[in-house]
Structure formats: structure tokens, C-alpha cells
Amino acid sequence: MNAIISAPDLASALAGGDPPVLLDIRWQLSAAKAAGAPPFDGRAAYAAGHLPGAVYVDLDRELAAPPGTGGRHPLPDPEEFGAVMRRAGVSAGRPVVVYDGGQGWAAARAWWLLRWTGHPDVRVLDGGLPAWQGPLSADEPRPAPGDFAPAPAADGLLDADGAAALARSGLLLDARAGERYRGEVEPIDPVGGHIPGAVSAPTSENVTADGRFRPAAELRARFAGLGATGDTEVGVYCGSGVSAAHEVLALAVAGIPAALYVGSWSQWSADPERPVAVGPDPR
């Protein structure tokens, strides 16, 4: 099953006999506050207009646990996550489509969490809300409760030790901007640089100027050039496990399975015992 869906295909699915559950995950990185900009209010954006029938889900509060030793966006408690999904109408036997404001990171986080906890049919709206050509609604739906019960997978998730090992034995991709990987700037976390052995692979290079994913063949070629061959185990990290989920999604579009290090650089860099590499070379 394709991990993404186009806006025309979503419109057709919504008009069919088994329409998907829609989740609105609009969110922006809070680092904008450091420049004096007010924090982004996803709920206000949702209230101003969303896909008809879509339920708003708060990434910071409902798709992550509070910041701490696990990083800025640790995994949510599975039971609490399941309760949020059921309130949104999510059931195991009904497809789900998630979208955000167009960047794709937040929607990918929801996609990854649902897939990792066992939902069989989740897709991301390619290009997010800006790609949608249909009507919007300001009405907040009250869906019938769903029956989704999270069952986290035994694989697909990395901790810090697992990420360090994969950087040596397989391919660990760093989805952040290149200047953060190289340690030239670090606007959020305690120190700049990267996990030794990780390869720079900015997630921004997986999409076109309008935020849509590049064709699968282009993505396969890109990841092959970074070392993702058929027999290579692949993992991804970023700042706090959000943009890395978008890179895991891009890898899925390319047909390449990958694990996610959710703690990512926000957890790694906060531990003084963890080594840090700087510069363009992985090591």
C-alpha cells in the first residue's frame, strides 16, 4: 500500500462508501519563538478551516510525551495515544489519512505512530492542506468512538545505543539541515554536530518546491547514493523525532524500510557521555 495519497485520490475516497478517518496535525517547530515570533497555534488554524470531517490532533500533547530525558518529543504512552485515536474515530478496520499545513513533518509523525502501533492502513496527504482543492469547514466533528488498540511493534524503533550501533554496522541517516549536521549552527539543542558515523540526508531534499514527495524512482536513487542498498539496515534521526519520521515516510515511498530514533539529537546531545562529530565527514 502506498504511504501517501494525492488530493484528487483523497477526494474520491471521501466520496466513496468507506471514507477514511481524517486527522489534522498542523504544527510548527517552536524554535520560531527564539526569533521573537509568536508560537504557532495549530488548533486556531484548524478552527479557521479544515478538511470537512477532520479531527484536530495536537502533536506536542497527543503524539508525544512531555520533554525530558527521552528528548523533546518522546513517544507518548501507548494507552494515552490509543485513547486519543479512539476519540478521533480511529478504528483498526477503517483507513486513516493524516495531513498538516504542507511541510509534512507532523503528518508523518502521526503516520509513523499509527503504523508502528499496528494500524494497517494509514496514508499522508501529499502536499498537505495546500494541495487540497475542495471545500474547507469550520465545524468541529464529533465522530463515533473508534476501536483502535495500539500494539507497538518489536522493531522499527531505535534507542541511543541502537542508533550508535547502526551508524557502525548499517546506515544511519541524519534528516536535519546540513548546517546543523556539520555543527555550524544549533538553534535548539545543547550542542551542534551529529552522531559519529551518521550520514547527512536533509529531509527537505525528498520533496519538490510545493512540498510534494519526489517520484519513488528519484527517491530510490537518492537513498541508494547515500548507501541504502537492498541488504543495508537503515535508521533515521533528526532533532526530536519529527522530521525524521518524514524521512522514514520518504524511504517507505521508495520501498525501503527504516527504523526511527525517536529521541534523536535532542536526547543524544543532552548526554555528555555521548560522542559528537562535527564537519561534513560522517566520522
Rounded-to-integer distance, Cα 76 and Cα 68, Å = 12
Of the pLDDT bands very low, low, confident and very high (cuts 50, 70, 90), residue 33 is very low
Grid cell 540526508 is found at 201
**125 pairs with which residues across the strands?**
5
Surface-to-core class of residue 169, CB atoms within 10 Å of its CB (0-12 exposed, 13-18 middle, 19+ buried): exposed
Question: What letter represents residue 193's amino acid?
Answer: G
Predicted confidence (pLDDT) at residue 271 exceeds the cutoff of 60: yes
Q: Is this structure's pTM higher than 0.85?
A: yes
How much is the pLDDT for 283? Answer: 79
Query: Is 238 designated active site?
Result: yes
Rounded-to-integer distance, Cα 213 and Cα 260, Å = 19
Predicted confidence (pLDDT) at residue 118 exceeds the cutoff of 70: yes
Range 13-19 average pLDDT: 93
CA torsion through residues 221, 226, 227, 230, sign: negative
Q: Evaluate whether the domain defined by 4-131 bears CATH number 3.10.270.10.
A: no
- More confident of the two residues 112 and 229: 112
Lowest mean pLDDT among 27-41, 44-58, 198-212, 213-227: 27-41
How much is the pLDDT for 229? Answer: 85
Range 118-141 average pLDDT: 97
CA torsion through residues 80, 85, 91, 92, sign: negative
Express each pLDDT in 223-245 by its tens digit. 999 999 888 999 999 999 999 99
CA angle, 35 then 274 then 262, to 5°: 60
Question: What letter represents residue 262's amino acid?
Answer: V
How much is the pLDDT for 36? Answer: 59
Give the CA diameter of the chain. Answer: 55
- What the block records as the C-alpha cell of 56 is 484536530
CA atoms within 13 A on the CB side of 190: 13
CATH number at 157-268: 3.40.250.10
Neighbours of 154 (CB within 10 A): 5
Predicted confidence (pLDDT) at residue 84 exceeds the cutoff of 70: yes
Where in the chain are all domains bearing CATH 3.40.250.10?
4-131, 157-268
How much is the pLDDT for 230? Answer: 80
- Strands 171-174 and 96-99 turn out to be unpaired
Which of 238, 244, 245, 253 is the catalytic position? 238
Q: Which residues contact 90 (CB under 8 A, 6 or more apart)?
A: 21, 23, 96, 114, 119, 146, 148
**36 pairs with which residues across the strands?**
none
Q: How many percent of the chain have pLDDT more than 70?
A: 97
Express each pLDDT in 170-211 by its tens digit. 999 999 999 999 999 999 999 999 999 999 999 999 999 999
